[in-house]
A = this chain, B = another copy of it.
Amino acid sequence: MYVHTPTPSQKISDKSDSLTAPLRSAFFISDGTAITAETLGRSLLSQFGNVKFDIKVIPYVDTIELAHQAVMRINDAHRLSGLKPLVFDTIVSDEIRTIINAATATNLDIYEGLINRIATEINEIPNPHTGMAHGDVDSEDYKARIDAVHYALDNDDGARTNHYDGADIILVGLSRSGKTPTSLYLALQFGIRAANYPLTEDDLNTSNLPKVLQPYHHKLFGLTIDTERLVRIRQERKAGSRYASLAQCQEEQRAIQAIYTTQKIPNLNVSEMSVEEIATRILQMTGMTRRII
């Protein structure tokens, strides 16, 4: 998607039924990673739920030659589909932005207007540079993020339970309730050191916490998930097993809810949530401060 420009068959524009109707292209373009342009662009396009777009991301457009290549791709998309592409760009260089703006597209220049408004308001001249959106790799904040990733990995799934002193949070929950992806997202995005510990059958047979967790009660946060969804996820993993059976999942759900209640562990039903949503809700509920400023 990034490098190989598919060459749409000419047939596409000949057909007129809705199944093969050409899609409007949306380009996310930047002289950096294009992550900012893509994040905002997808978010805006999601407000038009009924429309499908042909999305193309073009990062690192940082030379005049690459800018002209991008313009050719935009113009080709226009010609082949007959629909004017949308272009979301976060290009810092005026020279390169001017070239991109000359494409036959609707240019939703994200930076241009906003940077000028900020400059006027704070009475500062912008100091344009590319690629700082994700931070300086020599900063303490960046190191904290990378350390947190290694921490999450070392403390995944109840491993190395002697390292919980260093945890900011310990996620608990049933097997396949979303603990691992959430721990890693908290680490990568927010620099939070998140361990996770699965409460398995042995742990659930008693309403006490497992011994290794007892000293860290204040760090525990529970994930819950609807039984039906849990069964489905486990079936995808181990179809037909007792582990994935409705009866087993129901029993584990009953037991873990009892632990959350008895032990007063804050918890969140994550059934309908993406990892982004789970992580953000956890920060909000716990008041945890992110390591990244």
Contacts and interface: CB of A to CB of B under 8 A. Distances in A.
A42 interface: yes
Interface residues of A, number: 82
Interface in A120-138: 121-122, 124, 126-129, 131-135, 137
Interface in A262-292: 272-277, 280-281, 283-290
A106 interface: yes
B121 A106 contact: yes
A180 interface: yes
A149 interface: yes
Contact of A153 (B114, B127, B156): B156
B188 A184 contact: yes
A34 B280 contact: yes
Choose among A39, A45, A59, A119 the residue with the greatest number of B CB atoms under 10 Å from its CB: A39
B47 A39 contact: no
A258 interface: no
Interface of A: 1-4, 24, 32-36, 39-40, 42-51, 55, 59-60, 84, 86, 90, 92, 106, 108, 110-111, 113-115, 117-119, 121-122, 124, 126-129, 131-135, 137, 142, 145-146, 149-150, 153, 156, 178, 180-181, 184-185, 188, 272-277, 280-281, 283-290, 293
